[in-house]
Structure 1
Amino acid sequence: MKTFTCPFLSLLIGLTSAVLSATPFAAPMADRLERPSRISASASQAPLTGIQRLGQRLVLVGADGHILLREPDGRLHQAKVAVDVLLTAVHFVDDRQGWAVGHDGVVLHSADGGENWDKQLDGKTINTLMLTWAETEVARLEQVASAQGSDNAAQLQALDNARFALDDITAGAVAGPSRPLLDVWFANADEGWVVGAYGMVLHTRDGGKRWDYLPDLDNPERLHLNAVLGLANGDLLIAGEGGRLYRRVDGQWLAAQQLTPASLYKLVQLRDGEVLAMGFGAALLVSNNHGQDWKPIPLGTKASLYGAEQLADGSLWLTGQAGVLLHSQDLQQFRLFQSAIRGAWLGVAALGDTQLALVGNKGLHVLAIHELKELR
């Protein structure tokens, strides 16, 4: 089975290790899939990995199944969550319906604006979906090979690939529900996608009641997939390890693009339709045509980038490792800032025009923009 090589995924794995090492007699992961997240007074100081504005509230996800809701007056309270594994991303389609994903193949759903979260999927079910697909594919290709004989090299290669996939998936299933999911995006309350480690892509058309494993992405190396985003024109983008970008147009996956050698961690569409891809070593690229073509944007830093937020005035904040933040009015000139807290900022949300809510391995911090130190 493929080993972890993506720095972003390694960072999230590190967050899990840090939390478990600080928890005496931590229960096995299988138990954590069945055990509700514990209410903790210090949840906002524990690692947090994702943030989304929901009206005037913020929804935050992170370690030990923690999901926090921040009210406009700054009060925080913890949601009721069915699992206590590390959560990695959250996405709401309206003020009621939302999904969160995390380690061990967890997909959670909330129908009440984030107050309560039920488990829709976990790695045990994903293993079953993958095994069913692989066994069916091997049987189908064996039947084709038997009918066509041994002269069709392409068919024989496809059969070899399917048998290898079956062996690999079987070995992965033996390890248990160990398939981290890293991002989630829903077009509406019914149709959505989740992506994750080892090239994992899952799709639902009924709000998560049933999920389909999608093996047809152009990703034979099973590179990790870190981000998924639907565009305003209906296209779907997936980005990940090795700078790979995958586009789904009119229901069909196109050949993969490699935008950069650096792994990509985040996709975001701005209000004017431009799309940004960002990641390792300050990789930042922009597309003006829905992801068909990309142009790199040079930055005065080598810090990896993890989060982005566009303010009401159209300006953009980017967040990254070691407390780095970048601000731009035009996507051409960027001002580099340093927060006093040197953790990795994995997500950002604006609180009006004067404050930023930042989440990362240091938990939640609300910083006044005028207090940030500009680096020259």
Structure 2
Amino acid sequence: MTATTQANQDSLSLHGFFSQGYLYSKGNDFFGESTDGSWEYYEAGAGGRYRVAPYLSLAGQFFARDAGRGDNGSVRTDYLYADLRLAQSNNAGTSIRVGRVRNPFGFYNSTRDVFFTRPSILLPQQYLESFGVRELLFSSDGAQFHSYWEGDNHHLEFTSTFGKNDKISSDTVTNMFGAGSSLNGDAELQSPVFAQLSGGLAGDRWKAALSYYNTTLAFSNTSIVASLDATLMAASLQYNAEKLSLTGEYSLLSSNSVFVIPAVNLVSTGNSKTETAYIQADYRLDNKVTAYTRFDHRLGNRERPNETDSSILTLGARWEPRKQWRFAAEIHGIRGTAPIPAIDNRNTSLAERSELIVLMAGYRF
């Protein structure tokens, strides 16, 4: 092999993954008709990174996800951007990315699409997994500033995204506002801004992050004009020992809404605060098997805590016989209706308690 051929191979890296899940529940449906057993949960993606020059690289990924009525399995561009290095030294670097970029938020938002990089099969409530609004959080079309610094015993990283206005898909509109014809219309995500400061000690024995997200959702049809200004903030902390990992995250969602019905000259405003927190313990039995448990709580309205709170207790385990394979199983005990995918339970009243079993197998290369 010539030196030129080897250099070309080193500049290109490819990856892919596929995972298939099975869900069975009592009380409510999740990602399909899970009360009868559902296979309507899979994820698949393929992408790569190409180094055009020492200071410029291109990265992208195509992704498909089926999750009941909330995600229909269509192939989409998960991310696709150019990464231009502005400065580089032995222990620090700064770059700017332009295109469709991944947004860091909390520990897991920017890697939520890959089964192997999630803390469990289903994410905690903080990541709004059951709301079917993934496209509002995972990536943005715009520019991203990224900088890192590595010391002898610690490291810091800062990332900020400035997104452009973008239309929201009809699937997400349906997931947000319901399937009623009176709420069909046009929706736009306006000026999304993400920022995250993260860091850790040597070997990531301790990791921490502070995350911020602000955007405005604009909606209109022939009878309603509405806007929702939302700010989401999160604090994340993780401790890693030889056998045990403890992870905790807290998030606060503040929103201000305005609804206008021009036909009757009606204007309605409102504001709300939603708090979410979880703590998860992972115990590594050996280098292949990990058991985990998580308690996850969401308070939908501080003024009405007993009516709007929801909790999930999760017990699970994962097995990785080889680097390319992962198998996992988990049981969720759910109290409250906030974590329930409303779109999978149309025309039915939601049960206040649910039990859910999820199995998943995944392969990556």
TM above 0.5: no
- TM-score, normalization by structure 1: 0.33
- TM-score, normalization by structure 2: 0.34
User: Greater strand percent: which structure?
Assistant: 2
User: Greater helix percent: which structure?
Assistant: 1
Higher relative contact order (CA 8 A, sep 6+): 2
